[in-house]
Structure 1
Amino acid sequence: MFKFNFDVDETDDFVVSGAFAAEKTAPSASTANSRQPREATSKEIPIEDLLPALPPTFSFSPLAIPLTSKRNVVVSRRDLFDARFQVIASDEDTQRTGGRSDLDFLDAPSDLVPGVYEGGLKTWECSLDLVDCLESIYEGQVARHLKGKRVLELGCGTAIPSLYLLQAVFFSEPSPNANIHIHLQDYNDLVLRLVTLPNVILAWYMSPASAAFRASVSTSQDDRMGDLDAEPEPLPVVDTTEPGELPVTPVLTSAFLESLRHYGVQIRFISGSWATFDVERAGGPYQILLTSETIYRTDGLPSLVELMWRATAMPSKPSQGDDTALADSTSRLSLTDKVAALPALANEPYLCLVAAKLVYFGVGGGAKEFIEIVERAGSLSETSRTPRGVVRTVWERIHGVKRSVMQVLWARA
């Protein structure tokens, strides 16, 4: 077991400032990988099963996302301490995952137990980097570019990149025929229950999409003012810069589901390992694949890269003629050139983006190891159909902890 100490701090002041936690060295990879239990089989958890597991109320805080464009983007996310209280107050801590209870994960000093818990309860810096990259790609036109698209976020955790996309959709004009699919995958169903779904609901609530629901609740409360026995359920102010508490009622969850239909959005939640993720059962390939902070462990890279290929499955030969030329030209681009070229990615037949730190000290993973796996993808195993890929660095942070967003392109099989 080991601790990254790379996560965004959970205290409100620290989060709003957009600052990042300091980097520390983790124990050796050999210690971390000493225990490798059987990986969890991938399965879809219907949203109708997740909604009843929500607590009566949950608290949330703002997360400011620093952007190159200087545009102010703030999302609301469930407080980690509140998720812990939910587990303590319920019988969920008797449910065991890999010999551990839900409460064990929330209280453990380690951020990761390989093959058991993969760190999804916390927000990591590179998820914010991925938002910055998407902001530059879509130039404020997210909703338009998402119409008819299928999006998959692997290792979603608190799902900050997907929240950014959803928030943009919910602030646009509703379109029942938009046909937007957003699939959220994490190794642990505990993560999907405790933080992913609550954060998705917050993205809806803090937008015009929830206006009708909020107005109906306000009217209902006004009608009960003369009833001394009535106990109105106050709703928090719709302001992503303020913390608050959101009461979860059947009326709220019904309004949320109705809004998804009204905006043409379908959300699915999938838990389990990448190796067992069934792309066909999930509905076919995706035009947009996003993942952040998922390349920290080298033994997990082959299954991640294999799934990236299976999930996009729309290979096109790089425009420069071959992958070597593409790699060479990319290496000569300056950071300014890369940022200027990002909007062109919005029109690619598929967009596969990986946000990560250059090195994960003590764990063995990092950008170099990931690139090596992609470039020899076809030889991952005797049965692998994955063609050789090319990795382009399209966004990077060169100060402090080195981080980047990489685009993966596949050569023709």
Structure 2
Amino acid sequence: MAEEGFKFNFGEVKEEEASKGEEGEEAPDYNEPAAELIPRAQPGVAFFTECVAVAEGLELVKGTISSDEAATLLSDQRVATSDLVPGKYEGGFKLWECSLDLCRLLLSRYGAAAERLTTAPELSCELQGKKVLELGCGHGLPGIVAAMCGADVHFQDYNVEVLRRLTAPNVIANMERLPRSRPRPACRYYSGDWRAVGELLTGAGYGGHYDLILSSETIYSLPAQERLLECIKQLLQPPHGVALIAAKRYYFGVGGGMKSFRALVQRDGIFETSVVAQVEEKGSGNVREVVVLKFPDSIHPYFL
């Protein structure tokens, strides 16, 4: 099951209060440079795992990293008591609820039978051969589902240590569960801020654009929304590429959420959006949603 939500999620709050961010705080400096990580074995480093139910008939493996371990890996004790240290840590060591919503949507949207994902000697799925990018991946479970369906998946997280100690081991552990007859798609890993990652991946030698971009629980603040949207605009393949964004309708106390993100996308004018999945959060006064971003019928001059 998913771990607890943000420590600053204050529960049921009136809608007009949900859009208010913290006042009097300086804007964080998101300047982490982009780089590709080549995963290597880490002898002597224990990797503890547990199973998480993704859908009926499907369990995936995920690593477990304690808050104290996360603080040590990132050399910042604030990480031990907070799921978010702006400009330093973006919550990548935790599994968020919307990641599982996105996994389930991928299975249904692209015609993959959950109970066959880890057992079928051959698997036919609309994701096969697609180029997929998961932004702000953390555990990377949506990207792992896409890879199990035959997609070539690239994983991105702000923190390289999240990729090294959690994402890449998760990918390897889950791919080892596939029948030998199934091909292992290519997976690559990139760290850094979204602006820098967009510039890196559109550069020479990186192939640039993606058929499908995934992201979950990354639009909790207005600055995060703006950076994510700019990255998607850089990397989504026109005219048929789509992005699937999973998030709560509101993130209380930090000003972000799906409602404000869709308003931002509408103002920007590049993509059309629609809600493709909703989950009521019992007792919270909130809703989890998955939204699709796609190009309109006529390509915007931005891409010409």
TM-score scaled to structure 1, two decimals? 0.60
Secondary structure of 2:173's partner?
A: helix
| Matching residue of 1:8 | 2
| Matching residue of 1:402 | 287
Match of 1:73 among 58, 72, 92: 58
Answering whether residue 158 of structure 2 is matched by residue 187 of structure 1, we say yes
Residue 39 of structure 1: how far off its partner (Å): 1.6
Secondary structure of 1:397's partner?
A: strand
Residue 144 of structure 1: how far off its partner (Å): 3.3
Answering whether residue 247 of structure 2 is matched by residue 356 of structure 1, we say yes
| Matching residue of 2:187 | 267
**Matched residues in 2 for 1:64 and 1:52: separation?**
27
Pairwise mapping of residues 197-346 of structure 1 onto structure 2 (< 5 A)?
A: 197-209=168-180, 263=183, 265-277=185-197, 278-281=200-203, 282-315=206-239
Residues 211-263 of structure 1 show CA distances to partners (whole Å, capped at 9, x for unaligned) of: 9xxxxxxxxxxxxxxxxxxxxxxxxxxxxxxxxxxxxxxxxxxxxxxxxxx82
> Measured at CA, do residues 32 and 208 of structure 1 come closer, stay the same or move farther in structure 2, by a change above 3 Å?
farther
Residue 148 of structure 1: how far off its partner (Å): 2.7
**Matched residues in 2 for 1:306 and 1:59: separation?**
36
Whether the 8 Å contact between 2:9 and 2:251 is mirrored in structure 1 is no
Q: Which amino acid aligns with 1:117?
A: Y
Secondary structure of 2:52's partner?
A: strand
> Measured at CA, do residues 283 and 117 of structure 1 come closer, stay the same or move farther in structure 2, by a change above 3 Å?
same
Secondary structure of 1:371's partner?
A: helix
Match of 1:366 among 257, 265, 270: 257
Structure 1 consecutive aligned stretches of length 4 or more whose deviation exceeds 4 Å: 20-23
Residue 83 of structure 1: how far off its partner (Å): 8.9
**Matched residues in 2 for 1:195 and 1:31: separation?**
33
Secondary structure of 2:256's partner?
A: coil
Whether the 8 Å contact between 1:105 and 1:117 is mirrored in structure 2 is no
| Matching residue of 2:116 | none
**Matched residues in 2 for 1:376 and 1:9: separation?**
34
* Structure 2 unmatched runs, 5+: 12-17, 114-122
Whether the 8 Å contact between 1:39 and 1:116 is mirrored in structure 2 is no
Residue 52 of structure 1: how far off its partner (Å): 3.4
Residue 388 of structure 1: how far off its partner (Å): 2.6
Residue 8 of structure 1: how far off its partner (Å): 2.4
Pairwise mapping of residues 85-164 of structure 1 onto structure 2 (< 5 A)?
A: 93=72, 101=75, 104=77, 108-140=80-112, 144-164=125-145
Q: Which amino acid aligns with 1:205?
A: E
Answering whether residue 33 of structure 2 is matched by residue 51 of structure 1, we say no
> Measured at CA, do residues 63 and 22 of structure 1 come closer, stay the same or move farther in structure 2, by a change above 3 Å?
farther
**Matched residues in 2 for 1:22 and 1:110: separation?**
7
**Matched residues in 2 for 1:363 and 1:138: separation?**
33
Residue 81 of structure 1: how far off its partner (Å): 3.5
Residue 31 of structure 1: how far off its partner (Å): 5.7
Residues 154-205 of structure 1 show CA distances to partners (whole Å, capped at 9, x for unaligned) of: 0000011112223344xxxxxxxxxx42100000101101110110111122
* Structure 1 unmatched runs, 5+: 1-6, 11-19, 170-179, 212-261, 316-348, 378-386
Count of residue pairs brought into register by the alignment: 275
Q: Give the percent of matched residue pairs that are identical in Structure 1 and Structure 2.
A: 32
Residue 397 of structure 1: how far off its partner (Å): 1.1
| Matching residue of 2:15 | none
Match of 2:29 among 33, 37, 46: 37
Greater share of residues in helix: 1
Residues 275-303 of structure 1 show CA distances to partners (whole Å, capped at 9, x for unaligned) of: 11223233121001100001101012122
Residue 360 of structure 1: how far off its partner (Å): 0.3
> Measured at CA, do residues 54 and 268 of structure 1 come closer, stay the same or move farther in structure 2, by a change above 3 Å?
farther
Larger Cα-atom Rg: 1
Match of 1:25 among 2, 6, 10: 10
TM-score scaled to structure 2, two decimals? 0.80
Secondary structure of 1:285's partner?
A: coil
Whether the 8 Å contact between 2:30 and 2:193 is mirrored in structure 1 is no
Residue 59 of structure 1: how far off its partner (Å): 1.6
> Measured at CA, do residues 189 and 143 of structure 1 come closer, stay the same or move farther in structure 2, by a change above 3 Å?
farther
